[in-house]
Amino acid sequence: MPKAHLAVAVALGVALACSSPTQPGGGTGGGPPGPPTITCPAPPAPVTSPNGGAVAVAYGTAIATGAGISVSCTPPSGAAFPVGTTAVVCTATDTQQRTASCSFNVVVQRSPQIALTSFVAFGDSITWGEDGQPNVSCGPTPTGLVEVLGKIQPRVQLPDAQQYPTVLRSLLRQRYVAQTGSINVVNAGLPGERAGAPDTLLRFNTVLAVGYQAVLLMEGTNDIFYGDSTQIPSAVAGLRSMVRAAKQRGVRPFLATIPPMVQGGARACGYQLVPQLNASIVALASQESVTLVDVYTGFGTSYAQYFGTDGLHPNALGYAKIADTFFTALRQALEVPQVTTTSLEVLAPGFPR
């Protein structure tokens, strides 16, 4: 063979010896394809069970790579999941039975529940739902502020749907749908009643004898109606007696501050004393270790819009504001925490536990 041809043959042989063919599936030198990989879908948003039972939950698709891959998830998408947190395991298996797994959680919450369902709202004409149109007025005299009777118009009660106990009942039933049939808020308001009057405690005990689980106590506005600060101690003493009477009966008391009064209103004679009385009510709630419902603060600083022309009684918006303040306090104090148990039985065989 000529020398030139021999040199070409040697070079070609060296080049071929230095190269290795690529095998199908990504392996080299005749090796097997790589193991499978898998990526789980994002966890679905928490689902609510209206009655505490299992509910069907659909989730996304797991993405796997590799040769001849089959993918399975346990429990499968669309299965019924119990209340709590359940781990879903997705596994990719190739033709050589090699596997890769990933997992995510499905969360099912039960419908919110509240520990107590039977409430009575006890108080004066604000609890009763008076419409805020002046039927009497007050004015200065040498002996202080007195009620000027003149021609007294009959008290007018707003429609039942606008009274704060009714609005509160609706709010509770809308949130605690599984307990709707048992939730009730009874209106036990009495116009003209004073917290410090002896007859008030008697009426309080009579009302509670029916067998309520909780009492919403908001009283004291009439005690300071005439702007007489000397009535505050007796009002607080009366509230203390009612709180203790409720405890003795096993009825949980929720003690509220009174709403503000709008200066210049026909019946807002004691507006200056509202903060003083409320400070005593806040202290009383702390001393008696009962839940405070701060209705006064709930009205904010621009509260005139929530009152009728008498400056004393709320309008429909104001009564809704009172209901919402009580609703928030009841949720915080009585809502049962969600169950956070985790189900592990669903894990795929061989998956680490």
Segment 253-309, tens digit of pLDDT: 999 999 999 999 989 999 999 999 999 999 999 999 999 999 999 999 999 999 999
CATH fold label, 118-334: Rossmann fold (3.40.50)
Cα separation, 292 vs 288, in Å, equals 10
Q: Report the pLDDT value the prediction gives residue 17, as an integer from 0 to 100.
A: 40
Q: Report the pLDDT value the prediction gives residue 31, as an integer from 0 to 100.
A: 62
Q: Report the pLDDT value the prediction gives residue 24, as an integer from 0 to 100.
A: 41
Per-residue confidence at 139, pLDDT binned at 50, 70, 90? low
Q: What is the pTM of this model?
A: 0.76
Residue pointed to by tokens 């303040």: 325
CATH class of 32-111+338-353: mainly beta
What is the pairing mode between strands 137-141 and 144-148? Answer: antiparallel
Tell whether the model's pLDDT for residue 145 goes beyond 80: no
Question: What are 314-342's pLDDT values in tens digits?
Answer: 999 999 999 999 999 999 999 998 765 55
**Which residues have CB under 8 Å from 188's CB, separation 6+?**
120, 121, 122, 123, 127, 207
Question: What are 112-122's pLDDT values in tens digits?
Answer: 999 999 999 99
The H or E element that residue 91 is part of is: strand 84-93
Tell whether the model's pLDDT for residue 22 goes beyond 50: no
Q: What residues does each domain of the chain span?
A: 32-111+338-353, 118-334
* Cross-strand pairs, 78: none
Helix, strand or coil, per DSSP, at residue 4: helix
